[in-house]
């Protein structure tokens, strides 16, 4: 069976700031928008994961407040790095964490201006056809033979969403795989209609199977939303 031609959207790569800014003051409002987007446009590829991340570099009193609050709600940290600590958040604990983030003050930032604390959601997904709610046929990691697109574990055909709902700002990163055939324009329009951010006109790429049959070549393309 021949491998499919696909189109990907990388929104946004690290060189462009790493994520779309979500212009919503309350983390719970941003989380609700992302949840609605996921429900309308995707189906899970595997279980999502959520962590409460507290960055280093904040005022000591505010940092201690968040560490104590995280430990009270979630137990001990699951990961400690020089730059941050993380606490795993189960599904039934999400609302409590978001409520705490909603109550944050303007002082809950690091010395670099980043949110001091954030709920970080990571989800592996597949885009779905709005006509039947099923994943697009031919758009999967299996269909591309597990072709690796970079050195960071991303596989062509797979899609992912990473959202950070922070004390002073929220952001959304998208890696989306679309069908590269006649379905593309409608698929992109459906995603934009439900996405809580405006997709960039840049960062679209078409992936074409190599003639040898063992890989892919790619090239940047104009956004299908501008045609």
pLDDT, tens digit, for every residue of 20-60? 999 899 999 999 999 999 999 999 999 999 999 999 999 99
The two tokens of residue 177 are 């795989």
Residue 151 has pLDDT above 80, yes or no: no
Evaluate whether residue 46 is within a structural domain: yes
Evaluate whether residue 200 is within a structural domain: yes
- All residues at 6 or more sequence positions from 187 whose CB lies less than 8 Å from its CB, including other chains: 127, 129, 136, 178, 179
- pLDDT (mean) for 136-160: 93
Q: Are 168 and 104 in contact (CB under 8 A)?
A: yes
Evaluate whether residue 1 is within a structural domain: no
- Of 131, 124, 127, whose CA–CA distance to 6 is shortest? 127
β-partners of residue 163 are 121, 172
Q: What is the pLDDT of residue 13?
A: 75
Q: Are 140 and 126 in contact (CB under 8 A)?
A: yes
Q: What is the pLDDT of residue 153?
A: 81
pLDDT, tens digit, for every residue of 76-123? 999 999 999 999 999 999 999 999 999 999 999 999 999 999 999 999
Residue 18 has pLDDT above 90, yes or no: no
**Rounded CA separation 115/95 (Å):** 19
**Rounded CA separation 206/74 (Å):** 43
- pLDDT-based confidence at residue 65 (cuts at 50, 70, 90): very high
Residue 213 has pLDDT above 90, yes or no: no
Q: Please report how the helices 60-74 and 94-102 are oriented relative to each other, as an axis angle in degrees rounded to 10.
A: 160
Q: What is the pLDDT of residue 97?
A: 98
Evaluate whether residue 13 is within a structural domain: yes
Q: What is the pLDDT of residue 102?
A: 98
Residue 212 has pLDDT above 90, yes or no: no
Evaluate whether residue 83 is within a structural domain: yes
Tell whether the torsion through CA atoms of 23, 24, 27 and 32 is positive or negative: negative
Q: What is the pLDDT of residue 2?
A: 84
Count: domains in the chain: 1
Mean pLDDT, all residues of the chain: 95
Evaluate whether residue 66 is within a structural domain: yes
Evaluate whether residue 74 is within a structural domain: yes
Domain that holds residue 11: 6-226
- pLDDT-based confidence at residue 214 (cuts at 50, 70, 90): confident
Question: Would the pTM count as exceeding 0.85?
Answer: yes
């Amino acid at each position: 069976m021949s491998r499919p031609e696909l189109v990907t959207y990388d929104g946004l790569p690290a060189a462009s700031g790493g994520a779309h800014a979500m212009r919503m003051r309350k983390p719970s409002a941003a989380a609700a928008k992302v949840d609605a987007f996921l429900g309308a446009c995707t189906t899970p590829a595997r279980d999502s994961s959520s962590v409460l991340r507290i960055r280093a570099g904040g005022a000591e009193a505010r940092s201690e407040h968040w560490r104590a609050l995280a430990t009270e709600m979630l137990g001990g940290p699951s990961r400690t790095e020089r730059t941050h600590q993380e606490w795993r958040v189960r599904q039934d604990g999400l609302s409590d964490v978001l409520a705490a983030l909603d109550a944050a003050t303007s002082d809950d930032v690091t010395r670099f201006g980043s949110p001091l604390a954030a709920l970080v959601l990571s989800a592996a997904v597949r885009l779905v056809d709005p006509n039947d709610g099923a994943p697009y046929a031919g758009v999967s990691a299996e269909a591309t033979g597990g072709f690796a697109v970079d050195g960071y574990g991303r596989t062509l055909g797979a899609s992912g969403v990473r959202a950070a709902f922070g004390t002073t700002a929220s952001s959304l990163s998208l890696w989306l795989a679309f069908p590269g055939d006649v379905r593309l324009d409608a698929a992109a329009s459906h995603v934009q209609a439900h996405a809580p951010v405006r997709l960039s006109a840049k960062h679209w790429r078409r992936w074409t199977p190599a003639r040898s049959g063992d890989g892919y070549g790619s090239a940047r393309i104009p956004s299908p939303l501008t045609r």
